[in-house]
Amino acid sequence: MALRRTILHIDMDAFFVSVEEALDPSLKGKPVVVGGNPNKRGVVAAASYAARKYGIHSAMPTAQAKRLCPHAIFLRGNHKRYAEFSKRIFSIFEKWSPRVEPMSLDEAYLDLSGCERLHGPTLDVAEKIRKAIKETVGINASIGIGSNKLIAKIASEYAKPNGMLWIADGMEQKFLAPLAIEKIPGIGPKMAERLKQKGVKTAKQLAELPLEFLETVYGNHGESLYHKARGVCGSPVTPREETLSIGRETTLETDSADPKFLLSILSFLAEKTAAELRQTGLYSRCITLKLRYSDFQTVTRSQTLPAPTLDDDTIYKTIARLFEGSFTHKTRVRLVGVRLSALTPSYPQQADLFSTHSPENRDNLYRGIDRIRDKYGFRSILRGASVAGEL
Least spacing, CB of residue 383 vs Mg ion, in Å: 36
Residue whose CB is nearest to Mg ion in the complex, by number: 11
Pick the catalytic residue: 21, 107, 172, 271? 107
Measure the CA–CA gap between 319 and 269, rounded to whole angstroms. 10
- Quick note: the x/- pattern for Mg ion over 175-214, rule CB under 5 A, is ----------------------------------------
Does residue 106 belong to the site contacting Mg ion (CB under 5 A)? yes
Distance of CA 360 to the CA centre of its chain: 12
> Which span (105-113, 118-126, 254-262, 324-332) binds Mg ion, by CB under 5 A?
105-113
| C-alpha separations of 140 from 84, 111, 353 in Å | 16, 21, 21
- Binding residues for Mg ion, total number by CB under 5 A: 4
Name which of residues 237 to 276 contact Mg ion (CB under 5 A).
none
Least spacing, CB of residue 198 vs Mg ion, in Å: 32
Which of 7, 8, 11, 322 forms a contact with Mg ion (CB under 5 A)? 11
Does residue 159 belong to the site contacting Mg ion (CB under 5 A)? no
CA quadruple 158, 32, 84, 318: dihedral, nearest 10: 90
> Judged by CB, which is closer to Mg ion: 159, or 265?
159
Question: Which residues, other chains included, contact 211 with Cβ-Cβ below 8 Å and sequence gap of 6+?
Answer: 222, 223, 226
At position 139, the amino acid (one-letter code) is I
Contact between 76 and 36 under an 8 Å Cβ cutoff? The reply is yes
Instruction: Determine whether 11 is exposed, middle or buried from the number of CB atoms within 10 Å of its CB (0-12, 13-18, 19+).
Output: buried
Least spacing, CB of residue 100 vs Mg ion, in Å: 16
Least spacing, CB of residue 186 vs Mg ion, in Å: 18
Which of 7, 10, 12, 34 forms a contact with Mg ion (CB under 5 A)? 12
Active site residue 253: no
Does residue 172 belong to the site contacting Mg ion (CB under 5 A)? no
Residue numbers at the binding site for Mg ion (CB under 5 A): 11-12, 15, 106
Write out the catalytic residue numbers: 107
